[in-house]
Amino acid sequence: MGSKLYVGGLPYAATETQLTTLFAAHGKVESARVIADKFTGQSRGFGFVEMSTPEEAQAAITALNGSQMDGRSLTVNEAKPQESRSGGGKRFGGGGSGNDFGGRNRF
């Protein structure tokens, strides 16, 4: 199994093909994914790349973290486990409700 990397600061026009090409210079790319907004389909400015070995992943981090892509500075580091997403969704939903009610009570 490969090593998954988080890539932030992507230009909104960046494609998965461009991401694959960029990272292929540092090893074998198992997969590349640009994350898009589920409602608009527009890129959210980040993605994930899976390299075939931890050594290749580290080489990509060293070479690409802080580098420029179409005038934007990239952030490249090890991806965090995906399990934190569900907690974030619940927190956002609760916070949104509280803010809505607070705003209504003031007016």
Residue keyed to tokens 């527009």: 42
pLDDT at 44: 96
pTM of the model: 0.74
CATH, range 3-82: 3.30.70.330
Scored b (16 or more CB within 10 A) or e, 14-35 reads beeebbeebbeebbebbebebe
CA 99 to chain centre: 27
pLDDT at 89: 47
pLDDT at 40: 93
For the chain (107 residues), the mean pLDDT of every run of 10, in chain order, is 92 95 97 95 95 97 96 95 54 47 49
